[in-house]
Structures are given as C-alpha cells and as structure tokens.
Amino acid sequence: MKREIFLNDFGEMLEKVTIRKWHADVDQDLSTDDSLVSFETAKAIMEAPVPVEGKLVEILCQPGEQIVRDQPIAVIEVA
C-alpha cells in the first residue's frame, strides 16, 4: 500500500518549511531508524525520521522548495 507523507507525519506543528536535503533515494528501503529529510523552519534546521517502514517510491519536492502543512512531500510503499 502506498502512503503519502506530510509534515504532520513528523509530529511537529509546522505550517511552512523549506526542504534542505533528502537523506534517502527513490527505491531505497527505509526503516523508522533512518533519517528521511532535513528541513528549515524560521528558527532552526530539523532532521525528520522515516515515519513508516517501507520503500521510498517518489519524492514530491526538491531541496530549496518551500512547502506547506497539507502538501505531500514523498510517497512510501509501506512494508
């Protein structure tokens, strides 16, 4: 089953962030111990863990892109 990943999957109450770096590649197997993405808020750079185990099938935004809370950022095929 494919699952879209959103900002609120990381447990933060963020409204808007800028993607800094992806720590995983498409087709990579992911575990919840892995880091998925780094993003920048108005006050800090944060690293977000993988919210569910599976395979990263699609990255929906690129580094430097600003995203909002209800915008999907990636798709994971859940294990």
pLDDT of 15 strictly over 90: no
Q: For the chain, give the mean pLDDT.
A: 92
Q: Which fold does the domain 2-78 belong to in CATH?
A: OB fold (Dihydrolipoamide Acetyltransferase, E2P) (2.40.50)
pLDDT of 11 strictly over 70: no
User: Where are the chain's structural domains?
Assistant: 2-78
34-62 residue pLDDT tens:
999 999 988 899 999 999 999 999 999 99
- Residue 40 is predicted with a pLDDT of 93
Q: Where are the beta strands (DSSP E) in the chain?
A: 2-5, 16-22, 29-30, 35-40, 45-49, 54-59, 66-68, 74-78
Between the ranges 8-12, 13-17, 60-64, where is the mean pLDDT highest? 60-64
